[in-house]
Amino acid sequence: MNGAEQNMTASAIRVTDLTVAYGEKTVLWDIDIDIPKGTMVGIIGPNGAGKTTLIKSIQGLVPRVAGVISIYGKPYEKQRKEVSYVPQRGSVDWDFPTSVVDTVKMGSYGDLGWIRRPGRKEHERALGALEKVGMLEFAQRQISQLSGGQQQRVFLARALVQSASVYLLDEPFQGVDATTEKAIVRILKELVAGGKTVLAVHHDLNTVSEYYERVVIMNVGLVDSGKVNEVFNSENLIKAYGGKASFFPERKSVARAV
């Protein structure tokens, strides 16, 4: 194995020169990120920083002006099956007439391909994923009857059914209860311990150091990315959030030391 190949296997997601624009507005500007395999990475930045767009453009959901996305060294289009996606909870209509288990089963549609219907095996897989997120007893429930936290667990279960090795999550902790947040973090950490890679859009700066090993700090352009203890500092946060930054990691650690 030569050096270049080694490098390829070490990186799960590599984003090079990514630029995205909606109309005249530049949403992402020349982003370069390298997400090593088997790490848990948070994406932070102010509202409108393009965090969701980044997650979406990695998966080709929004057209890019420029840039290359590779998953384990190969273009995303060839690696779809390696990536599972947990969209923002609010992006779908939870009044849709379907049950919890049928929603989770959607995660298996990719493996099934066109036309083939899910069967016994897919049902079992969906139930297994529901058990993992602690929602097995809700399998036959209407999704309209779920609380915010339960909705998020269902979405996570659907992603688990995809049995991929790279997980992209868009604000998985948005509006969920504390128990759900802990449960989701635990599952994600288990995934990472098993060699999977997790990339999540994150809002709460207070929990960044607790949840993630690495962090991507951005605001349209990339501010910095790397290990939390190296790049998650007030200098970078002020760069990303401007004068409005109200969280200073250093002060917090001082407070802790006292």
Partner 1 sequence: MLEFATELFSDYTARTIISGAASLGIVSGVVGSYAVLRKQSLVGDVMSHAALPGIVLAFIAMGVKEQIPIFVGAVLSAILAVFLINLVTANSRIKTDSAMGMALSVFFGLGLVLLTYAQKMPDANQAGLDKFLFGQAEALVEKDVLIIAIVGLASLLTVALFWKEFKLLCFDPDFGGTMGFSMKTLDLLVTAVIVSAIVIGLQTVGVVLMSSMLIAPAVAARQWTGNMGSMVILAAFIATVSGVTGVALSAGLENVPTGPAVIVCVSLIAFFSVLFSPNGFFTLRFKDARSRREIKKDYVLKALHDLALEHDDPGYAHSRRLIALGSGKRFNVERSLLKLQEAGYVENMGQDNWRLTASGIREAAKLSPHEKSE
Least distance in Å: CB of 94 to partner 1? Answer: 10
Strands 11-22, 66-71: pairing is: antiparallel
Subset of residues 40 to 69 that bind partner 1, contact rule: CB under 8 A: 56, 59-61
Of 80 and 189, which has the nearer Cβ to partner 1?
A: 80
* Binder of partner 1 out of 11, 16, 142, 233 (CB under 8 A): 142
Closest to partner 1 by CB, 100 or 217: 100
Q: How far is the CB of 82 from partner 1 (least distance, A)?
A: 11
Q: How far apart are the C-alpha atoms of 72 and 109, rounded to whole Å?
A: 23
**Residue 142 and residue 93 in contact, taking contact as beta carbons nearer than 8 Å:** no
Evaluate whether 103 touches 150 at the Cβ level (below 8 Å). Answer: no
Instruction: Determine the number of helices (DSSP H) and then strands (DSSP E) in the chain.
Output: 11, 10
Q: For 6-28, b where at least 16 C-beta lie within 10 A, e where not — what string?
A: eeeeebbbbbeebbbbeeeeebb
- 112 lies in the binding site for partner 1 (CB under 8 A): yes
DSSP single-letter state for residue 248: -
Q: Which is nearer to partner 1, 174 or 233 (CB)?
A: 174
Gyration radius from the chain CA atoms: 19
Rounded Cα distance between 134 and 154, Å, is 10
Binding-site string for partner 1 from residue 71 to residue 110, where x marks contact by CB under 8 A and - marks none: ---------x--xxx-x---xxx--xxxx---x--x--xx
Q: How far is the CB of 86 from partner 1 (least distance, A)?
A: 9
Q: Does 174 bind partner 1 (CB under 8 A)?
A: no
Site for partner 1 in 186-225 (CB under 8 A): none
Q: Which residues bind partner 1 (CB under 8 A)?
A: 56, 59-61, 80, 83-85, 87, 91-93, 96-99, 103, 106, 109-110, 112, 114-115, 117-118, 142, 144, 158, 162
